[in-house]
A and B are shown apart, each in its own frame.
Chain A
Amino acid sequence: MTTASPARTAQRGVRRLGDRVFSGTAVGAGIVILLLLAAVALFLITQSIPAFTVDPEDVSILRGQSFVEYVGPLVFGTIWAALLALIVAAPLAIGIALFISHYAPRRIASVIGYVIDLLAAVPSVVYGLWGATTFAPIVRPFYVWLNENLGWFPLFAGDVSATGRTILTASLVLAVMILPIMTAICREVFLQAPRLHEEAALALGATRWEMIRMAVLPFARGGMVSAAMLALGRALGETMAVTMVLSVSGVISVELLTSTNPTTIPANIALSFPEAYGEGVNVLIATGLILFLVTFAVNALARYIVNRRSAFSGAN
């Protein structure tokens, strides 16, 4: 922050009071978050400890595997599904956001923006229902085609699922789910790009794309990464839609089109929690802790990228 505090004038005392109350509240809010998170962390850790120390033979859901063996495939599945979703969604979201902010006529753009905002609120149960009953049968023929023509490629190998409820379907549903939140944030950031920079670029004879590349995208980079991270966070933690759409087996496999698919951590919690008891519950909470750590690592990485490229910010 380079902004100097306002000139110290005679009215200093009065101003100080308002400032003090206001900044005090702001700090207080921050501290509430600290405490809240500390409480969540404490809860997670104390509940998880039994899972690390328990004898695998005593807990039915571990089936004799150690905790690490149990959670390994789940971590893989979680990251794999979310990553696929992000790879599909990120370019599309940036594309739509650009379309809304810089390409479409304003009237159309506002309507479309509105519809996309709405989709952020469709409950995940509904995405699950739609994915399992409408979407999976539609994409299955496409999977068959991919498998026949590109079956030599490891991603498309294996026997095609008879119902289409594969990890690729789940990732595509996840992609559709995270699109609205990503698009909305990207759009806001693109709209905030300084008008003068844009007009200057156009006046210099830049094409629309050059203007976007030079004036909009550098300005929006931090926001775009933030949006992608929020979206990834949602994809990593998504429970119901994955549970309902995916035919799971808890294996490590990169084959996208078969009915034997890896499970994600949240889906596994949803599938196993209702019948879990004793230390089984602790094991599931411990997998929640692992998910928490994974998401955190992803976020930290993103922060690192944003900070290294020093975000274009009006406030610093």
Chain B
Amino acid sequence: MTATTTATTAHVNSLTTGQLPKWAPWAILLGSWVLVGGVFALMNTGGDPGDFNVGGTMFLGTVLFVVLLTVFSTVAENRRKAMDRLVTALVVSAFVVVLIPLASLLYTVLINGLTRFDAEFFSSSMRNVIGEGGGAVHAVWGTLLITLGATVISVPIGLMTSIYLVEYGRGRLAKAITFLVDVMTGIPSIVAGLFASAVFVAFFEPGIRMGIAGSVALSVLMIPVVVRSSEEMLRLVPNELREASYALGVPKWLTIMKVVLPTSIAGITTGVTLAISRVIGETAPLLLTAGITQGLNTNLFSGQMTTLPVFVYTQYRSPGMYPDEAIARAWAGALTLILIVMVLNLVARLVAKIFAPKLGR
């Protein structure tokens, strides 16, 4: 069939010679699904139609599609084209495969979270609340403040370190820092919590709990992510830009501030948001440093603070006699956290857009 198509088009347009028509991949995909579905239906004959293996059909059908597409393309087109089609098919299926668990996760959080996503959830804390009602305003504030604290500590240190590594770093110190940043990515989050709590105990009193201790624990986790990702982005700034700037007599530090950073700002903000995302969902280190409280506390430097992940965890762990209400609060807390990160991402993108130089892409 494909042979006839190509044969007729050959007379019409020599540029499209030896090409599969545009609809061919779709037809092959559908055909593969129907074929595999048919085989499964035959295997299932006499059985309950509900037992029909949908997952198996989609999976094996797609595998068959990838194979068939490559074979057809090799025959009708050439090996280079076939390779291109194979990779396209693989990339797109990778995407679809991943979308399934991610969609399932988001759906679960959304459906379960919306039941308690109401005004009361954002206007009350858990102080003196047992069973129904209650909210997470204390946890929302805790999350925002502790994460803000961690960001204020980590971003300047992380960004300056990566600037040092990319723009100034030479010799032993730079090597040592690169090495140590690698080591730091390996600090397990619970160890970061133990460390921060040990530091604060050394400076204050045993069993000290305060928000800023949580920020310090999170910074230990956050700094290497900031350094790693911004280093990667700074390295990608073409040297031509730097040299052009030097040639105009601009000092090095101004070149970095006005040329290098703005060029890579999109990547850096992505990196920073990723780093924040990495730590905003931490539970274990915060249990050890910031503690748990049922009431609202907006002072980072005194008293326990609850964050949303800790809130979610404790609601799930100790629901008492009201598991349904507690689980609903837990999911609503998770949903809130995702929304906070969503807003953060938007802000980061906005920042990137405003400061980035207008380039082709």
Q: How distant is the Cα of A16 from the Cα of B252 in the complex, in angstroms?
A: 9
In angstroms, how far is the closest chain A Cβ from the Cβ of B184?
Answer: 6
Contact with A along B211-250 (1 / 0, CB 8 A): 0000000001001010111001111111100110010011
Contact with A along B187-200 (1 / 0, CB 8 A): 11111101100110
Contact with B along A1-29 (1 / 0, CB 8 A): 11111110100000100110111011111
Residue B11 CB within 8 A of the other chain: no
8 Å CB contacts to B: which residues of A139-174?
142, 172
In angstroms, how far is the closest chain A Cβ from the Cβ of B148?
Answer: 15
Given A27-B173, A135-B101, are A91 and B191 neighbors across the interface (CB < 8 Å)?
Answer: no
Contact with A along B158-201 (1 / 0, CB 8 A): 11110111111110011011111111111111111011001100
Given A117-B274, A296-B186, are A129 and B180 neighbors across the interface (CB < 8 Å)?
Answer: no
Residue B278 CB within 8 A of the other chain: yes
In angstroms, how far is the closest chain A Cβ from the Cβ of B160?
Answer: 3
**B106 surroundings in chain A (CB, below 8 A):** 115, 119
Residue A127 CB within 8 A of the other chain: yes
8 Å CB contacts to B: which residues of A36-79?
36-37, 39-40, 43-44, 47
8 Å CB contacts to B: which residues of A113-149?
114-127, 129-130, 134-135, 138, 142
**A83 surroundings in chain B (CB, below 8 A):** none
CB pair A26 B164 closer than 8 Å:
yes
Residue B16 CB within 8 A of the other chain: no
**A176 surroundings in chain B (CB, below 8 A):** 98, 101-102, 105
Given A194-B238, A270-B190, are A29 and B164 neighbors across the interface (CB < 8 Å)?
Answer: yes
Which segment of B61-69, B123-131, B336-344 sits at the interface?
Answer: B336-344
**A300 surroundings in chain B (CB, below 8 A):** 179, 182
CB pair A292 B183 closer than 8 Å:
yes
- State which of A27, A119, A185, A194 has its C-beta within 8 Å of the C-beta of B168: A27
CB pair A195 B360 closer than 8 Å:
yes
**B319 surroundings in chain A (CB, below 8 A):** none
Which segment of B22-30, B32-40, B289-297, B309-317 sits at the interface?
Answer: B309-317
Interface size class for chain B?
35 or more
Given A123-B283, A288-B191, are A26 and B228 neighbors across the interface (CB < 8 Å)?
Answer: no
**Smallest Cβ-Cβ distance to A20: which chain B residue:** B253
Given A129-B316, A237-B188, are A192 and B267 neighbors across the interface (CB < 8 Å)?
Answer: yes
CB pair A127 B105 closer than 8 Å:
yes
Q: How distant is the Cα of A79 from the Cα of B106 in the complex, in angstroms?
A: 28
Given A6-B251, A266-B188, are A130 and B105 neighbors across the interface (CB < 8 Å)?
Answer: yes
CB pair B97 A92 closer than 8 Å:
yes
**A32 surroundings in chain B (CB, below 8 A):** 157, 161
**B84 surroundings in chain A (CB, below 8 A):** 207-210
In angstroms, how far is the closest chain B Cβ from the Cβ of A105?
Answer: 12
CB pair B187 A40 closer than 8 Å:
yes
Number of interface residues of A (CB under 8 A): 110
Residue A81 CB within 8 A of the other chain: no
In angstroms, how far is the closest chain A Cβ from the Cβ of B60?
Answer: 12
Residue B146 CB within 8 A of the other chain: no
In angstroms, how far is the closest chain A Cβ from the Cβ of B248?
Answer: 9
Residue A252 CB within 8 A of the other chain: no
- State which of A47, A96, A185, A222 has its C-beta within 8 Å of the C-beta of B274: A185
Q: How distant is the Cα of A95 from the Cα of B220 in the complex, in angstroms?
A: 31
In angstroms, how far is the closest chain B Cβ from the Cβ of A45?
Answer: 12
**B195 surroundings in chain A (CB, below 8 A):** 39-40, 43-44
Q: How distant is the Cα of A195 from the Cα of B174 in the complex, in angstroms?
A: 31
Contact with A along B319-361 (1 / 0, CB 8 A): 0000000000010001001101110110001000000000011
8 Å CB contacts to B: which residues of A75-117?
91-92, 95-96, 98-99, 103-104, 112, 114-117
Residue A256 CB within 8 A of the other chain: no
Residue A285 CB within 8 A of the other chain: yes
**Smallest Cβ-Cβ distance to A113: which chain B residue:** B270
In angstroms, how far is the closest chain B Cβ from the Cβ of A240?
Answer: 5
Q: How distant is the Cα of A30 from the Cα of B228 in the complex, in angstroms?
A: 13
- State which of B108, B188, B338 has its C-beta within 8 Å of the C-beta of A292: B188
Contact sample, A vs B, 22 pairs, CB 8 Å cutoff: A1-B167, A7-B246, A18-B253, A29-B156, A30-B174, A95-B95, A96-B95, A122-B105, A123-B334, A126-B334, A129-B316, A130-B105, A134-B105, A179-B102, A184-B274, A207-B81, A207-B84, A208-B87, A299-B186, A303-B178, A315-B234, A316-B235
Interface residues of B (CB under 8 A from A): 55, 80-81, 83-84, 86-88, 90-95, 97-98, 101-102, 104-106, 108-109, 156-161, 163-170, 173-174, 176-192, 194-195, 198-199, 220, 223, 225, 227-229, 232-239, 242-243, 246, 249-254, 256-257, 266-267, 270-271, 273-274, 276-278, 280-284, 308-309, 312-313, 316, 330, 334, 337-338, 340-342, 344-345, 349, 360-361
New contact pairs (17) apart from A7-B246, A29-B156, A33-B227, CB-CB < 8 Å: A1-B168, A4-B246, A19-B253, A23-B164, A25-B160, A29-B157, A30-B161, A95-B95, A118-B338, A121-B341, A123-B283, A134-B104, A176-B102, A185-B229, A210-B80, A315-B166, A315-B235
